Structure 1
Amino acid sequence: MPAIALFGTSADPPTLGHRALLEGLLTLYPEVATWASDNPLKHHAAPLPMRAALLEALVAAIGNPRLCHRQELSSPWTIETLERAARRWPQHELVFVVGSDLAPQIPRWKAADAILRRCRLAIAPRRGWPLTTEQQQALRELGATLELLPLEIPATASSAVRRCPDPAQVPPELRPLLLQHNLYGFTG
């Protein structure tokens, strides 16, 4: 059964870390799907349609036919996203991808045990957010089939870009949209 990597993100805004992760996933999986979503544990600076447009622009800039932007997967609840993905790709193994910064939150997610039974959980290490043995064990005890991805994701963070707009942290293809819509404090 072919695998599809599923990567939902707040994309508030997408950073070079998002780009590195998407490009890295393309080296590991035959297909990769991404979407912007509202994380109920976060406050979002831009509305979901704008974040989705930014992520779609990043996907277009990467330009790989095995990478798709599937906004219809978006839900604040991962279990709903996985149900939608299972209907969309019934003949695929679902691999749900998160950054190591989110791994400690997963046990508190709605229906965490059901989520972890429905997919393989792939964790991408982010510089500055190490994944501890205890965190891995907690996920396995909830039923996770855990995969630690052999990728190096830079320590860029959307929250840092929101606090201090830094064009060097954002893919250059997104800057015109950021300027056009006056997002995140970016100015010409």
Structure 2
Amino acid sequence: MTATIALLGTSADPPTLGHQALLEGLLDHFQRVATWASDNPLKRHDASLDLRSELLQALVMAIDNPRISIDQTLSSPYTITTLERAAHRWPQHELCFVVGSDLAVQIPQWRSSELWLKRCRLGVVPRKGWPLEPEHLEQLRRLGAEITVLPLQIPATASSSIRHTSAADQIPKPLWPLLLQHNLYGLQDAPS
């Protein structure tokens, strides 16, 4: 059987407890998980890509599982480029591009979605507050997507909450030293 690799690109601005739960949950469903920080052309980012990659690396190291890796070479603002790089890197593996339900509704507007959806499986993770509607899935299927809805329980966290309200309780503990060192997101002290 061909091993399937879960591909999870994220803005990681900053990584949250939700990112941690998602990465750990993907390990229950895939032989391997590759993640990276990326620039989303539809978002404004508060921290540089290098810093966000460093934060994500700290989270991956804290998860401490050899089946998960950060691969920053996959990073691109465009999914088609990421998938071309992943297919070149792992030519003998099936690829599953993972998104949250909040992004699933945007995919039809992404560059070359009708092309890249045919090159991989699409893994969709329901997020609290972003319901996954059957018509959204059907629209993706019409574009050629083979969809797997992943049964993961992800806490209702959002990077935007941290950026806008300094929601310190949503930040994984291993990230605090880097956040404070780089004076990111207006955070002053790690919670005790």
- Measured in 1, the distance between the counterparts of 2:86 and 2:103 equals 20
Q: What does the per-residue CA deviation read over 1:109-138, in whole Å, with 9 as the maximum and x for residues that have no partner?
A: 000011100000000111111110110010
Match of 2:64 in 1: 63
CA distance in 1, matches of 2:185, 2:142: 39
| TM-superposition CA deviations, 1:120-169 (whole Å, max 9, x none) | 00001111111101100100000000000010111100011100112210
Counterpart check, 1:77 vs 2:78: yes
Look up the match of 2:164. Answer: 163
What TM-score, normalized by structure 2, do the two folds share? Answer: 0.97
SS state at 2:105 partner: helix
Once the two structures are superposed, what CA deviation does each residue of 1:40-88 show, in whole Å capped at 9, x if it has no partner?
Answer: 0000000000000000000000000000000010000000000000011
Normalising by structure 1, report the TM-score: 0.99
Structure 1 portions without partners, runs of 5+ = none
1:8-60 deviation line (CA, Å, top 9, x unaligned): 00000000000000000000000000000000000000000000000000000
- DSSP 3-state at the match of 2:124: strand
Task: Report the count of equivalent residues.
Answer: 188
User: Quick one: which amino acid aligns to residue 176 of structure 1?
Assistant: P
Q: Name the structure 2 match of 1:139.
A: 140
Partner of 2:92: 91
RMSD: 0.5
Q: Tell me, what secondary structure is at the counterpart of 2:88? A: helix
User: Structure 2: how far apart are the matches of 1:159 and 1:3?
Assistant: 31
Runs of 4+ more than 6 Å apart: none
Counterpart residue identity of residue 67, structure 2: R
Q: Deviations over 1:82-121 (max 9, x none)?
A: 0000011001000000001101100000000111000000
